[in-house]
Amino acid sequence: MKNKLLSVIYMLSRYFLYGFVIQLMVFNFVFANEAKGQYKSIDEVNISFQKENYNLGQFLSQVEKQTTFRFSYDRKDIETSKSISLSQTSGTVEEFLQEVARQTLLSFRQINNNIDVKKKEIAEVTSVIQQEFVTITGRVLDPSGEPLPGVTIIIDGTNSGTVTDIDGKYSLEANEGDVLVFSFVGFERVSRVVGNSNVIDVTMVEDLSTLGEVVVIGYGTQREQDRISAISSVKAEDIVKTPATNAMQSLQGRVAGVQIVSSGAPGASPTVRVRGIGSFEGGAAPLYVVDGMFFDNIDFLNPNDIETMSILKDASASAIYGVRASNGVVLIETKSGGYNQEPEIIYDGYYGTQVPQNVLKMANTQQFAQYVNETGSPADIEFLNNAIQRFGRSRVDPNLPNVNTDWYSEIMSPASIQNHSLTFNGGGDRTRYSIGGSYFEQNGLMKERRNEFKRLNFRVKLDADLRDWITVGGNLNISAARRYNADDGAWFRAYNTVPILPKFDPLNTGATGTEVPLSNAQLIGYRGNQNPFYSILFSDNRNNIAKIMGNFYADMELIPNKLSFKTAYNYNIDQINTRNVSFAYNDGVTERQSSLSRSNFTRYNQIWDNFFTYTDNWGKHNLTAVLGQSFRSETFEALSARGEGLNPEPAFGQEEFWYLSNSTNFDLNAIGDGGERLFFQSFFARVAYNYDDRYLVYGTVRRDGNNKFQQQWGNFATIGAGWVISSEDFFNVPAISFLKIRGSWGQLGNDGISPSVGVPTLQENNLAIDDVRIIGRRLNPTFDLIDRWETTVERNFGLNATLFRDRLSVEADYFIRDTRNLAVSIIPPVFRATERRSVGEIRNQGLELTVNWNERINDDFSFYLGGNITTLKNTVLNLGGPNHLDAGSAEFRQRSIIGEPYLAFFGYEVEGVFQNQEEINSSGYTQEFITDNSLVPGDFKFKDQNGDGVVNDEDRVVLGSFLPTFTYGINAGFSYKNFNFSTLLQSQRGHNILNRKRGELIFTNDTNLDAELISNLWRGEGTSNVYPSASGLRRGWNQNMSSYFVEDGSFFRIQNVQMTYSLINQELFGVAMPSTRITLTAERPLTLFNYNGFNPEVPNGIDRQVYPIPAIYTVGLNVTF
């Protein structure tokens, strides 16, 4: 087995070497080819036919198979069954089209790679007046003001025309009164009449109909019109609008069915969920496929390098990727150069600032002193007096100490963010290239210490047509990053530290580590030092991150225009080196020794895909089939250790001594060494059938095998169908140009959970006999058994429509996603221990709706308005016998209950606050219960759910879920000449947050609280029906897990606002300027919510020490040479 494995590795390494050599060869070819126009003319492309007689449909199909041209026509007007006869077997496309045109009375007109087919109009014979030609010149721009190369300009009714050059310029001869038709793929046609002026400039407008677009799917592409699955695409221009480390942040509010939970820490990635949570383990992150390689995160990828991003949301779309795709798939293709593209240089960058927003207001000294006095706690009142004696009396109020520290203000300040990219693109007849580099830097909001993220990226992507039948290529992406992580405990301390404590205390002469001694709350009586600067100043946490991604492929056409074979080898290497240093210091009470922890994590993954693609069509039948095999291996190793008492003591400026070799004592329990090696083998197939562009059928099947679980092989299949109603003869609704209904069913497995032993194991036992340690072993009868695949089964029903001349587009999906055989922890009846078994089931179901309106008012002005909504209902269906499964801590219980959401917050429902003794006596509680719990006015009134007169475990209910049940996004914008404006609004509703910061009072009650709570405490009858009294906060009755701690997390946000202005055909000091675009962006400038915290975005719904999420304001510049 070992020798076989080594031979496989040797073989893969050899292919890697071959691919690398090919890549270097291709790189030399790139610059040796002369750049020409972007599209070839029909008189430049040769084709051949094997027989003489065809029908029109067969002829058009043969041309499409042998060329890159695509025919566009209305099937209701064109009779594809009409017979034609060819007089030659080979020639140019133009020669064949001329011959077919004579036999069918059709006209053919080339527009870029499209050929428009129409019936010839029978015109009356009229006299023609010979006119003199004039030379017309001009420039064609895109909506943002950038020059648009490759635009076709045709004199209407003729075959005369030209195309624009790299600068968007053109020149052609025409008669006065001629109509010039400007066309380009992805843009609407524009017509201009030749008049007195010899200069005609045009700004193109994006084509609002996307039915001819191609979407990226697993192992291929598919026409948007033929799509059956739930797939959403995000434009590259929308991705780069968001200044962020991770491109996924840009999806927030843009894509129905995708929840993004932001993170404010430098370099941190957002939490991404596609259609809810479908497993109790492994999180709910989707699979990222970048140029064919699998990833768990794309934090290494520069958003500017992304060409296309598609989100595969349902099982029928994701299943082709097998067991890694159970939570959805994000397909990403990085940017490539263009064939016959003149070299271009693009700089794109921005610089900005991050500003803390919605900063939680804490109680000041006056509010805190009032709260302390109201608690009646002698100890806390003494601490207050100690502060007066140590720090002096306030001149404003002598009853207060002369200290009023706003700890959030002390530890937090605005921080910079910037990104700079430089890209070189181009290509010749047979090669294309894209080379780029970028630098990203994000500083953290926490002051005083290193809290930042820096990333440097380099990439090369090359493709070469070595022969007419083979294309090879490859790309390499190298990312090197360094992240300094702030001690998140400082955020927690900033909430809890009392305002009567200053940052520095000169009287704390025993403190060391800073020039001016830090204060210590213990010196005025408190239990801990509290000061957050002990966390900030005396720790340094660094991650060095290196990632390499490579892809090499060969695409061979075995049977021209019918059968192709592609082999692709993908690899990635990840290495994370972590170093956490704690410096020695004395806080005036306790001496802390230095320590150093190091860990090294290395991962090497590789994927080798081989698949055939067969395409054919006959008559009205169109078929695409894919058959393939994939091999994947994942290897990781981890090593960690911790030492204490470094000598010499670590200090900034002397990092050369920050190594474990300088430790005087090693923590043996912190030494770890581990690894894992997993292998996966898969076979897959996909079939897509289209009859007459009306009836669509789609199906996939995949067989996955691995060495991770007891069940090594799993079979998963999907099937879907669609009906394009608008293509039917009976459909005659002028307002609706396209209408399609679709449905699919699919299943796929999930390998994102921990493996299991599957059998009882022997455990080591230690016993002392006569003071001698005896080591023995015993049988552990409890064990995990994952004997079935976690399997997601999903049904999806959808609709696509375009209306009102393609100005309005509508897409709707309703899904029911059941995940079965979930790995859950159960308690066996005999042994009081937990075991994992494949017995759970969970459901996610909801509705997704996306509506967009686009309109061009005139050549100068256009606008768009769109929105999306998502509903989600998450329900636990089965737990293998028990009715519920507990999670969280005993004090803050979460519970998964059959019929309720996953990990719902669970506790007592607060009905209000007892205002007087009479309310207590008439509450329905028994007198014995009231006496036993010492209830007094100012205490919470918990609802007695079953009416038995007591409040106990039987009265606990579900208090909410951290998963939003309703989200929506609204996007709008307009373009006026060279000015563009866009905005994105988004909201999440129906989710809850557990305010653990307030709940920490259970464990430590001598801390500060937020101003909103202290200002609104119950202070007598009628003063509050929401919060208890100050003394009540410290009583066990009011500290029970209840709806008091669980708050509404709903919010509304202005997510993104961007304004751009393009400078075209401008001069600077008499020299022509390159195309330039200036951008102003505001990210998250306003967030509205009622939650008592920094931000209502909390990944798991538990807010204890979450990094604040800032607003970001940037100025950007894009220059194209």
Q: Give the β-pairing of 1102-1103 and 992-995.
A: parallel
Q: How far apart are CA 1064 and CA 145, in angstroms?
A: 7
Token digits of residue 726? 């608008």
Strongest mean pLDDT among 67-71, 844-848, 1096-1100:
844-848
Token digits of residue 91? 């020639």
Q: How far apart are CA 779 and CA 203, in angstroms?
A: 78
Q: How far apart are CA 11 and CA 5, in angstroms?
A: 10
pLDDT band at 26 (very low <50, low <70, confident <90, very high): very low
Residue 84's pLDDT is 80
Q: How far apart are CA 1101 and CA 991, in angstroms?
A: 8
Architecture of domain 134-203: Sandwich (2.60)
Q: Could you tell me if 107 and 120 are in contact, meaning their C-beta atoms sit under 8 angstroms apart? A: yes
Q: Among 71, 99, 95, which residue's Cα sits nearest to residue 86?
A: 99
Beta bridge partners of 991: none
DSSP reduced 3-state for 857: coil
| In the predicted structure, residue 93 carries a pLDDT above the cut 50 | yes
| DSSP code of residue 903 | T
Q: How far apart are CA 388 and CA 372, in angstroms?
A: 14
Q: Could you tell me if 313 and 232 are in contact, meaning their C-beta atoms sit under 8 angstroms apart? A: yes
Beta bridge partners of 457: 438, 479
| In the predicted structure, residue 68 carries a pLDDT above the cut 90 | no
Q: How far apart are CA 943 and CA 950, in angstroms?
A: 9
**Residue type present at position 888:** G
Q: Where are the beta strands (DSSP E) in 964-1044?
A: 966-976, 979-989, 992-995
The CATH number, out of the four listed (1.40.20.10, 2.170.130.10, 1.10.10.10, 3.30.1360.70), of the domain defined by the range 222-336: 2.170.130.10
- Residue extents of the structural domains in the chain: 46-119, 134-203, 222-336
Q: Which of 558-572, 591-605, 831-845, 983-997 has the lowest mean pLDDT?
A: 831-845
| In the predicted structure, residue 4 carries a pLDDT above the cut 50 | no
| In the predicted structure, residue 25 carries a pLDDT above the cut 50 | no
CA R_g for the chain: 34
The set of residues, in sequence order, having a beta carbon less than 8 Å from that of 632 and lying 6+ positions away, is 294, 605, 606, 607, 608, 679, 680, 681, 682
Q: How far apart are CA 962 and CA 985, in angstroms?
A: 21
The set of residues, in sequence order, having a beta carbon less than 8 Å from that of 91 and lying 6+ positions away, is 46, 47
Residue 76's pLDDT is 56
Q: Where are the beta strands (DSSP E) in 647-753?
A: 663-666, 672-691, 695-706, 713-724, 736-750
Mean pLDDT, range 637-655, rounded to an integer: 92
DSSP states along 877-898: EEESS-SEEEEE-SSSEEEEEB
Mean pLDDT, range 1027-1044, rounded to an integer: 95
Burial class (CB in 10 A: 0-12, 13-18, 19+), 370: middle
CA angle 572, 578, 583 (to 5 degrees): 170
Q: How far apart are CA 1028 and CA 112, in angstroms?
A: 73
Q: How far apart are CA 37 and CA 131, in angstroms?
A: 30
326-353: pLDDT as tens digits: 899 999 999 998 888 889 999 999 999 9
Mean pLDDT, range 891-895, rounded to an integer: 93
Residue 831's pLDDT is 64
Q: At what angle do helices 93-104 and 56-66 cross, to 10 degrees?
A: 170
Backbone conformation region of residue 71, classed left if phi is above 0, alpha if psi is from -120 to 50, else beta: beta
Task: With residue 6 as reference, give the H or E element that holds it.
Answer: helix 2-30
Question: Domain 46-119 adopts which CATH fold?
Answer: Phage tail protein beta-alpha-beta fold (3.55.50)
**Residue type present at position 346:** I
CA angle 966, 970, 971 (to 5 degrees): 150
| In the predicted structure, residue 19 carries a pLDDT above the cut 50 | no
879 or 150: which leads in pLDDT: 879
Burial class (CB in 10 A: 0-12, 13-18, 19+), 664: exposed
Q: 46-119 with 134-203: one CATH topology?
A: no
Task: With residue 940 as reference, give the H or E element that holds it.
Answer: strand 940-942
| In the predicted structure, residue 953 carries a pLDDT above the cut 90 | yes
| In the predicted structure, residue 857 carries a pLDDT above the cut 90 | no
720-765: pLDDT as tens digits: 999 999 989 899 888 898 999 999 999 998 888 887 776 676 677 7
* Phi and psi angles of residue 76, each rounded to the nearest 5 degrees, phi first: -75, -25
DSSP reduced 3-state for 823: strand
657 or 5: which leads in pLDDT: 657
Token digits of residue 545? 């991150």
Q: How far apart are CA 503 and CA 403, in angstroms?
A: 10
Q: Could you tell me if 879 and 824 are in contact, meaning their C-beta atoms sit under 8 angstroms apart? A: yes
Residue given tokens 């005139």 in the structure block: 858
pLDDT band at 37 (very low <50, low <70, confident <90, very high): very low
Q: Could you tell me if 524 and 501 are in contact, meaning their C-beta atoms sit under 8 angstroms apart? A: yes
Mean pLDDT, range 994-1000, rounded to an integer: 92
Q: How far apart are CA 842 and CA 817, in angstroms?
A: 8
Percent of the chain with pLDDT strictly greater than 90: 62
DSSP states along 331-352: EEEE----TT---EEEEEEEEE
| In the predicted structure, residue 1021 carries a pLDDT above the cut 80 | yes
Beta bridge partners of 578: 543, 599
The set of residues, in sequence order, having a beta carbon less than 8 Å from that of 523 and lying 6+ positions away, is 390, 505, 507, 508, 588, 589
Q: How far apart are CA 307 and CA 315, in angstroms?
A: 24
Percent of the chain with pLDDT strictly greater than 70: 92
pLDDT band at 185 (very low <50, low <70, confident <90, very high): low
Beta bridge partners of 475: 461, 551
Q: How far apart are CA 856 and CA 207, in angstroms?
A: 10
Q: How far apart are CA 400 and CA 419, in angstroms?
A: 48
